[in-house]
Structure 1
Amino acid sequence: MSRKNIFIVIGVVLVGAAVVFANFYFQRDKGLTVTTEAIRARDLDAVVSASGKIQPKRLVNISADTPGRVVDLAVNEGDRIRKGQFLLQIDPKSLRTRVESNSASLRAAEQSLDQLRQGAETSKVQLQQAQQNLARQQDLWRQQLTTREALDKATNDVKAAESAVQEREKQLRPQESRIAQEHATLESARYDLSKVRIESPIEGIVTRRNIQEGETAIIGTMNNPGTVLLTLADMSIIQAEVEVDETNIPHVQLGQHAKVSIDALPDRSFAGHVAEIGNSPIQTTAQGTQSTGTQATNFKVVVVVDEPVPEVRPGFTCTADITTATRKNVVSVPIPAVAVRELVYDANGQVIKEPRGDKRRRPSAVEPVASAAELKPGQTRKETEGVFTVRNGHAEFVPIKMGIAGDKYFEVLSGLSQGDQVITGPYNSVRGMADGDLVKVDNNRKTR
């Protein structure tokens, strides 16, 4: 190949490369392809979602008040029960024997009291006879018809009878106290005997049975869950006990409406309201042994379900969506359209626009507009929430003030008006976009 041909080939290659580079350069200068959405008014609901468990409003643990062997067990786990329905019986033999023994002791004490009372009555009669004899002797003495010895004897007989009456009355009081004690002991034994037959205090469902017929029940204590024989739940009023994050708990208030979704009952939700808000964070086992710096802090919130839930069981996993705020017909912006940028403000709080220069290098989402050394007196720089609008083929960052957050939209308090076109995507483009970037709107991408 001649030298001339070599130069011709090199020239063709260079021209081709220049064309490709120019084509790529000018295509890039056409800007980012973005999607937009027109701002309009809509209704918004701020919702706090939290998960937890379904629990009955009233849960009763049945424990034994007296120890003994279970001789009759009338219910199974899952049975529906009525108030006053018989549940189980503990062997009453020992308690019945105690009642009979106390009854015999009481009868013996009452008989002794009757004897003492009869003796007291006899002593009173003897005192009355002695007083009458003394009166006769005194009359005869005045008439000089009796001796001094007979009068003294009659006087002594009265004193002895009075002493006997007092002694009998003293014996009555301790015996009466003994009878009262025997009566109280008998009533206590009868009460214990009545406790061997356990009946349901509520209407509901047996959610747990920890005892079998023939096993020995021990006296229940609050600190020992192993002593619980049966667990009963009143399912007429159920509630969702959920855990709400500390960042959301200030927005939750008593009486707010909620929707409860139960995993075991899909495609359905049930209306409810907030009935209880915990004042202290939920304590977990890990908090006692590990640092709580990286652990989430949650608060217990109780949502009472206002409508019947069929075939519900305690412990079902659920989610409560609590409506913490509602706005009607307010200007709103799609959540993906909102971005955060650092802007420079003058002393009057007005945004100082950066001169539009070469935008081929796109800065990061949080790249400073100006360094601290470049700020003039009175100027400040701070991160600002806003959106990008399309103005003459360029993206323009517009600061906004937001209100509540809905499911897909933020409430806009200021900065935008209905009809404004805001850039909503793609997400990565919005995240890295800078004020003044060239953009090309292609809303057909939404349907692709």
Structure 2
Amino acid sequence: MISRNTKLLIGGATFVVLIVLGIAFGGSRDEDSAYSWDAMGRGDIRETISASGEIRAKTQINIGTSVAGEIKAIHVKDGQNVKAGDLLVTIDQERLRQALAQAQAGLDAARQDASRLEAAMRRSVDSFPRYEALRQQGLMSDEDFRQQKLAKESAVLSYNSARAAVAQSEANLKGMQDGLSKATLRAPIAGRVTSLKAEKGETAIPGMSNLPGATLMIISDMSEMQAEIKVNESEVVRTKVGQTAQVTVESLPGKVFQGSVIEVATGTEKVGTDANLYKVKVVLAGQREDLDNLRPGMSARAVILTHEVKGVLRVPLQSVLEREGSLEDAQKQGLLAPASRNIVFVFKNGKAEERLVQIGIANTQFFELKEGLAEGDKVLTGPIRKLKDLKDKATVSLRARSDSELAKTKGAKK
């Protein structure tokens, strides 16, 4: 049998537990219904863009041939450093030598023919004044004179044709000589053989570089390494030459290369999924031994600093809402359709006041505030679903601690 005093103790303990639970759960419900917030403060903002691409050398030259033929010898290896003028590839020259001999024989024949016709022309031209004198003296008929005149003109025309044939044969010979000289390929620049695509015995094919056999190798100038990245159309407008960048390479984890933007494409290549991406080139700096570890074609990712401001008012990203403007405002601004506007809800006297704001650059946490709020203002930051439906002058309650205070508490626990 439970005594009266025991019953009183059990009842009292139960009452205390219920009170504690009520406070805990009641407080939790109040906290859940309240809005999160943060106080306007000052700080620095760095606006960056990130994009991926690949490592490239300063200059990459596709080595091809302008004459077709069997590859007789390859004088370099993949990865070998070469100097300008070094021998790279020798293509079969026998057919080209035969063609050169034929062109030389054709030129000799054309010159002999031209010499013969020149002599005939000179005789006809030198004799013609005598025929004119005989005709004036009545010692030659008009018909005979016309025949002599036609013979002289024909001789001149034949000689001119022979001279043209000589010029054509000379051009043909020079073309054959040029073709023979190009059967021996030499390095146009100093660099490294970064891709050897040909083998001895294969047929070198002149033509476009995307045809099999057209590109024999690639020589890269490794003195300056670059990252060629592809930037989205919405971000390329913020990318300028001279901006600071940091590049990481998938093959070298933990290594960060400093760089700067040296070129921003003004047009897109319109190829497949890259239709709205623009090429941006970033030149890399660093220790020579680190740069020597880079290879053309390595996957890279770049972060470009597009803008930076210090000591400015900052408003949390999640507190800025977009609202569609009115038609009246659009007409006042000379617009044909309403323009969107940015608003923030500020807590004041227990109510949410809607404020129109002008924002600047942004990072992953804050917008730069240019106009509309003051330092110390309490801005509502969430929950986002409730913020979207919130009306101006609505009564609201705030959570006990600000977002910044909660973040410091979480940081201290870690």
CA distance in 2, matches of 1:410, 1:261: 27
CA contact (8 A) 2:62 2:209 kept: no
- Cross-structure match for 2:77: 76
CA distance in 2, matches of 1:163, 1:341: 96
- Cross-structure match for 1:320: 302
Q: How does 1:235-250 map to 2 (within 5 A)?
A: 235-250=222-237
Q: How does 1:164-183 map to 2 (within 5 A)?
A: 165-183=152-170
Q: 1:270 and 2:258 equivalent?
A: yes
CA distance in 2, matches of 1:340, 1:163: 97
- Select which of 276, 280, 284 maps to 1:302: 280
Residues 1:388 and 1:262: Cα distance change in structure 2 (over 3 Å): farther
The CA deviation string for residues 413-437 of structure 1, in whole angstroms up to 9 with x for no partner, is 456655678899xxx9999999424
The CA deviation string for residues 95-144 of structure 1, in whole angstroms up to 9 with x for no partner, is 1111111111211221222233334445566x389679969xx8xxxxxx
Q: 1:196 and 2:197 equivalent?
A: no
- Select which of 17, 20, 30 maps to 1:20: 17
- Cross-structure match for 1:184: 171
C-alpha root-mean-square deviation of aligned residues, in Å?
A: 4.7
- Select which of 353, 368, 381 maps to 1:411: 368
CA contact (8 A) 1:57 1:238 kept: yes
CA contact (8 A) 1:124 1:161 kept: no
SS at match of 2:67: coil
Residues 1:431 and 1:24: Cα distance change in structure 2 (over 3 Å): farther
CA distance in 2, matches of 1:66, 1:117: 37
How far the C-alpha of 1:250 sits from its partner, in A, is 4.3
CA distance in 2, matches of 1:93, 1:53: 42
Q: Give the letter aligned to residue 412 of structure 2.
A: T
How far the C-alpha of 1:267 sits from its partner, in A, is 3.0
- Cross-structure match for 1:447: 412
5+ long unaligned stretches in structure 1: 139-150, 288-295, 344-381
The CA deviation string for residues 177-232 of structure 1, in whole angstroms up to 9 with x for no partner, is 22222222212212221221222333332221111122221222255255211122
Residues 1:158 and 1:197: Cα distance change in structure 2 (over 3 Å): same
- Select which of 201, 208, 211 maps to 1:224: 211
Residues 1:11 and 1:319: Cα distance change in structure 2 (over 3 Å): same
SS at match of 2:255: strand
CA contact (8 A) 1:55 1:240 kept: yes
Q: 1:116 and 2:114 equivalent?
A: no
CA distance in 2, matches of 1:383, 1:422: 14
Structure exhibiting the larger radius of gyration computed from Cα positions = 1
Residues 1:432 and 1:109: Cα distance change in structure 2 (over 3 Å): closer
Residues 1:203 and 1:164: Cα distance change in structure 2 (over 3 Å): same
CA contact (8 A) 1:245 1:297 kept: no
How far the C-alpha of 1:48 sits from its partner, in A, is 1.0
Q: 1:212 and 2:177 equivalent?
A: no
The CA deviation string for residues 358-417 of structure 1, in whole angstroms up to 9 with x for no partner, is xxxxxxxxxxxxxxxxxxxxxxxx99545889x9xx998996764322355443345665
SS at match of 1:175: helix
Percent of residue pairs identical: 26
SS at match of 2:303: strand
The CA deviation string for residues 283-331 of structure 1, in whole angstroms up to 9 with x for no partner, is 43xx6xxxxxxxx985223133164662132112222222222212212
Residues 1:247 and 1:395: Cα distance change in structure 2 (over 3 Å): farther
CA contact (8 A) 1:96 1:193 kept: yes
Residues 1:267 and 1:180: Cα distance change in structure 2 (over 3 Å): closer
CA contact (8 A) 1:43 1:329 kept: yes
- Cross-structure match for 1:146: none
CA contact (8 A) 1:277 1:299 kept: no
The CA deviation string for residues 239-288 of structure 1, in whole angstroms up to 9 with x for no partner, is 3222334543443345543333333444332221252145448643xx6x
CA distance in 2, matches of 1:398, 1:209: 66
- Cross-structure match for 2:397: 436
CA distance in 1, matches of 2:93, 2:342: 78
TM-score (norm 1): 0.66
Q: Give the letter aligned to residue 318 of structure 1.
A: A
- Cross-structure match for 1:98: 99
Q: Give the letter aligned to residue 21 of structure 1.
A: L
CA distance in 2, matches of 1:415, 1:269: 40
- Cross-structure match for 1:330: 312
After alignment, is 74-83 or 189-198 more displaced?
74-83
SS at match of 1:411: strand
SS at match of 2:78: coil
CA distance in 2, matches of 1:159, 1:85: 66
CA distance in 2, matches of 1:281, 1:430: 39
- Cross-structure match for 1:372: none
